[in-house]
Amino acid sequence: MEEEKIELPEINYSDDDIKTLDWQEHIRRRPGMYIGKLGDGTSADDGIYVLLKEVLDNSIDEYMMGFGKTIEVSIEEGVVRVRDHGRGVPLGKVKDVSSKMNTGAKYDSKAFKKSVGLNGVGIKAVNALSSFFLIQSFRDGQTKAVEFSKAIVTKEEEIQSTTKENGTLIEFIPDNTIFTNYNYRDDYVESLLKNYVFLNTGLTILYNGKKFFSKNGLVDLLNENMTSEALYPIIHLKDEDIEVVITHTNQYGEEYYSFVNGQHTTQGGTHQSAFRESLSRVIKEFYNKNFDYADIRSGIVAAISVKVEEPVFESQTKTKLGSKDMGPGGPSVQKFIGDFLKKELDNFLHKHTDTSEELLKKILESEKERKAIAGVTKLARERAKKANLHNKKLRDCRIHYNDSKGDNLDETSIFITEGDSASGSITKSRNPNLQAVFSLRGKPLNSFGLTKKIVYENEEFNLLQAALNIEDGIDGLRYNKIIVATDADTDGMHIRLLLLTFFLQFFPDLIKKNHVYILQTPLFRVRNKKETIYCYTEEERINAISKLGANPEITRFKGLGEISPDEFRHFIGKDIRLDRVTMKKEDLVNNMLNFYMGKNTPERQEFIIDNLVIEED
């Protein structure tokens, strides 16, 4: 039998195919390598906040070296401005530090021993990704300024005399051809600035007329972020290169805030893992009882900040520490943190018997509850397997958030829907690589006031927990975004409220770590023969009618099931509209849920009457 010959097209591979990009062109073509995802400012980790952080990090490093106690920040009409009062960039290098790769002072550990920015890329990336970038240094009575556009010099001034204080001024405008329709949100910016002052006691940051300052460091951070009352006064331990704060609440789960050299490592890393393990071991040894680590850590709220010489991060955006050692020739991260806690935490618990008694009480309560539901959890796991999640309740996606490697992990999401028609429409419209769908059957149970036993006894909650893979904590979470997709009617709002109650009651860290969202879907479709406009508000509907002219066809969507898969693609694709579920320190979870989901029906009725708004035609 004669083999069939397949003619392959000729592919030329010559010198002309080898290209060398200028550094600024490489950053602009591959921004994700330098700042993570782009985004439009609706998420706290979007690129425009990374640009701000890269500039601020340099000012913070100056403060950490003992220069400049105040940093002024403003964002007005798209222009970001950061002015510190440090030493100022050496005048002969003002242009180079912002336009020559691998140029900086932080390679020499004597000048910046424990800095965040170590690779000479930071503000170069900001420069390359900005349509306007200004750097001006004030140093010993002289100043020099250079302006850029997309990292190309547009104006360079000679060194001049000045009466202004030493320091560095940077202004930039993110390039709107890269960051499309972006907008800085004050709450995200302020959260970033608060972390800086919590980690640098004595530093003042002024932002658009507001002053941020911390006297008590990480204690202030915990008080700012806790949404449940502490069971005992916050334990605060500190040494030259480490600071930790620890307390427990009656909430479920574990809540950690970790930092390296002032950088918020939102994905943890070697220091956070060492902290969790060492903390559990020290407490177990203190009480000399064979406690389960999970019982020791249940309800914990804690923060750790370490200073590491020449830290190694797992990405340019520095959200996860990879360093195994505290620095060249230094101890391991595990040993350093373990030795510190063994000495300081053990001493603290011996000296403060009121705290150690409250902590013991909390551990015993957690142990008692865990043992009480041990049999239930085993049956629940078996039931979840028999339910065959991948066919019955869950239409899974191919890529998951906890995959060790993969592209677009931050874009992985799961839609929690009500009813077969809505889940069917989303399933047919979704991106099967990144978007999963979980279908609810009827209204979930009101879980307020119930113990975690109900999570395993209730089929809907048990299967949802299994789908998310959060039984042992959110480290195994399979989707970055949990998107509640319900109808915009009273039943849909009720289901949404019941789901949020479930998350707040048993998995509050999902909300605190920015994983829970509400899907916005259009209320109206306004169209004529030439154009279709989807409207999410009454105002948008009026504007659409005005734009399309006389007698357009107007459709009012009553539920998600009415929207065809072809239409749904517009709403869950790149233009998806999401409202992130947030929590503030004022939102004490137990008090809030008790009011809205408890048995105080007359009180709620009075609240509704007092806040009722009647719209006139």
The structural domains of the chain, with segments of one domain joined by +, span 23-213, 218-372, 390-521+569-610, 524-556
Which residue has better confidence, 257 or 27?
Answer: 257
Residue 129 confidence (pLDDT): 92
More confident call, 114 vs 170:
170
DSSP 321: B
Question: Tokens 């509050």 belong to which residue?
Answer: 508
Give the per-residue pLDDT at 407: 64
Burial of 446 (0-12, 13-18, 19+ CB in 10 A): middle
Query: What b/e string do you get for 278-297 counting C-beta neighbours within 10 Å, with b at 16 or more?
Result: bbbebbbebeeeebeeebbb
Give the closest residue to 439 by CA, choosing from 451, 456, 422, 453: 422
pLDDT of residue 173: 95
Structure tokens at 351: 């000296």
Q: Give mean pLDDT, residues 475-490.
A: 88
Give the rounded percent of residues in the chain with a pLDDT score beyond 70: 84
Which has the minimum average pLDDT: 11-15, 449-453, 484-488?
A: 11-15
Closest residue by Cα to residue 193 from 311, 86, 60 = 60
- Two tokens at 453? 């036993």
Burial class (CB in 10 A: 0-12, 13-18, 19+), 376: middle
Is the model more confident about 513 or about 105? Answer: 513
Q: CA 130 to CA 182: how far, in whole Å?
A: 13
Angle between helical axes of 270-287 and 333-351 (0-180°, round to 10): 40
CATH number assigned to the domain with residue range 218-372, chosen from the 4 options 3.40.50.720, 3.50.50.60, 3.40.50.2300, 3.30.230.10:
3.30.230.10
Choice among 106-115, 136-145, 569-578 with the minimum mean pLDDT:
106-115
DSSP assignment of 227-288 = -S--SSPPEEEEETTEEEEEEE-SSSS-EEEEEETTEE-TT-BHHHHHHHHHHHHHHHHHHT
* pLDDT the model gives residue 389: 52
Instruction: Take residue 598 and report the two structure tokens written for it.
Output: 């408890």
Asked if the model's pLDDT at residue 7 lies above 80, the reply is no
- pLDDT for residue 594: 61
How many other C-beta atoms lie within 10 A of the C-beta of residue 611? Answer: 7
The confidence band for 119, taking pLDDT boundaries of 50, 70 and 90, is: very low
How much is the pLDDT for 111? 43
The rounded mean pLDDT for the chain is 84
The arithmetic mean of pLDDT across residues 502-526, rounded, is 89
Fold classification of 390-521+569-610 is Rossmann fold (3.40.50)
Cβ–Cβ < 8 Å for 248, 300: yes
Mean pLDDT, residues 486-497 taken together: 83
| Highest-confidence segment of 336-350, 412-426, 562-576 | 336-350
Q: Specify the pLDDT at position 232.
A: 96
Amino acid 113: pLDDT: 54
On the 0-12 / 13-18 / 19+ scale of CB atoms within 10 A, 419 is buried
Between CA 188 and CA 172 the distance in angstroms is 18
What is the arithmetic mean of pLDDT over 52-58? 90
Q: For 23-213, which CATH class?
A: alpha beta
User: To 10 degrees, what angle do helices 589-597 and 490-506 make?
Assistant: 150
What are the tens digits of pLDDT across the range 360-391? 999 999 999 888 887 777 777 776 666 555 55
Strand order in the sheet with 553-556: 532-535, 524-527, 553-556
pLDDT range class, residue 107, cuts 50, 70, 90 = very low
pLDDT band at 336 (very low <50, low <70, confident <90, very high): very high
H-helix or E-strand spanning residue 197 = helix 186-199
Stretch 279-306: mean pLDDT: 94
- Mean pLDDT computed over 595-611: 60
Position 116 confidence tier, pLDDT thresholds 50, 70, 90: low
Name the nearest CA neighbour of 514 among 563, 580, 444. Answer: 580
Which phi and psi (to 5°) does residue 11 adopt?
Answer: -115, 115
According to the model, what pLDDT value does residue 612 have?
54
Cβ-contact 117, 106 below 8 angstroms: yes
Chain segment 183-238, per-residue pLDDT in tens: 999 989 999 999 999 999 999 999 998 999 999 999 999 999 888 889 999 999 99
Q: How confident is the model at residue 611 (pLDDT cuts 50, 70, 90)?
A: low
